[in-house]
Chain A
């Protein structure tokens, strides 16, 4: 067991063997900055002042050469080999509302949603709750390193974690999940993580924008919206973007929610519909569709979005250009 000290904040915490410095700090309730938790975004970097660490992912894209030269390490990928002293930004608003914890999950069901998106349902030995829009880490047997996947369900007791997962071409984890994992098999689970969770106190209508793998957290938010007492009387606009007709997803789930067509609205845009799709709906990118659907009322919405990096970048740019206050934009950057 290593002790990690943050001298500037006069704080220290224990980092058990096998846990990473960021995750152990978050489990201890500390307000440490992070976003993706899988080595890509760079937000959890710290400066190593004293001690020795080992990286689970030495070539992680979240650090460039200059950062490495400044003795920076990624908290989400660093194991402590000795007691350490580190320097990093700490803020109260980085604290986790629900402390992340590790558990074992058994696969109880699989459902196909599109040609490359499947819902995987796990039952946990030790449940932990999460907020709609957050994500958990799945450790897949035989695959090095955990992967971040957003939840699609809501849970009162945390016993069920459901994920809508997109098969990534050449993705080791998604390939193992899709091709090898069978009902009854076990995975390691860790969570919840993420800052793009539903703000029930925000006094605005809601816009959810999803593409591909971003379906899952937006579905979780829409389900929570439908069940929320606090959000009664508000509207939720759900805009989904895909390439062609076979990518379309989400509408059937939203149709099953109370309020569909009255307070919950679904829209889809296809960027490259196939000839045999006979598509008569919107064409183009999802951020263009959003602008067209909401027009001048865009800044009056609380905006949640998730999907592939080019899509989330485009949504973010479009929202800022259209004067949406940054505090109303909620997403986790996985790159």
Chain B
């Protein structure tokens, strides 16, 4: 297990997400009220990119088929998604957001 640094906290505005591609991973980094969460960027259902989706409360709505996941847990919140989205354990180091992988 190692920590992969992804971005600075200032790179992601509150209530938004960015896409980070590193070490063969394509990840969506979310900032919900100052807390950071990381999920796979590619939707488990189709070709949508979650970092380009719409955040409502704790959910991210994919802008491809309008399915949604809980950002904190990856659980399916709205169909047509069936498979939970993979989440990553976030590791903060000062102002750097990283994940265990």
Contact = CB atoms under 8 A, between A and B. Distances in A.
B48 interface: yes
A89 B48 contact: yes
Given A316-B82, A320-B82, A43 B44 contact: no
B73 interface: no
B66 A45 contact: no
Contacts of A89: 47-49
Interface string B42-64: 00101111000000000000011
Given A33-B46, A326-B44, A43 B83 contact: no
Given A33-B46, A89-B47, A42 B64 contact: yes
A320 B76 CA distance: 13
B33 to A, nearest CB: 26
Interface string A58-75: 000000101100100000
Interface residues of A, number: 17
A74 to B, nearest CB: 12
A153 B64 CA distance: 34
Contacts of B49: 89
A317 B83 CA distance: 9
Interface string B15-59: 000000000000000000000000000001011110000000000
A91 B26 CA distance: 12
Contact of A317 (B47, B63, B66, B82): B82
A35 B45 CA distance: 12
Contact of B65 (A42, A91, A316, A317): A42
B83 to A, nearest CB: 6
Contacts of B65: 42
A264 to B, nearest CB: 30
A66 B48 CA distance: 15
Contacts of B47: 33, 43, 89, 91, 94
A319 to B, nearest CB: 10
A220 B66 CA distance: 34
Contacts of A43: 46-47, 64
B83 A326 contact: yes
A320 B82 CA distance: 8
B63 A70 contact: yes
A95 to B, nearest CB: 13
Nearest to A34: B47
A25 B65 CA distance: 22
A22 to B, nearest CB: 12
Nearest to A89: B47
Interface in A47-83: 64, 66-67, 70
A91 B64 CA distance: 16
Interface in A264-301: none
A33 B49 CA distance: 12
Interface in A14-52: 33, 35, 41-43, 45
Interface of A: 33, 35, 41-43, 45, 64, 66-67, 70, 89, 91, 94, 316-317, 320, 326
9 contacts: A42-B46, A43-B47, A67-B63, A70-B63, A89-B47, A91-B47, A94-B47, A316-B82, A326-B83
Given A33-B46, A42-B46, 5 more contacts: A41-B46, A67-B63, A91-B47, A317-B82, A326-B83
Shortest 7 CB-CB distances between A and B: which pairs? Answer: A33-B47, A89-B47, A43-B46, A43-B47, A326-B83, A42-B65, A320-B83
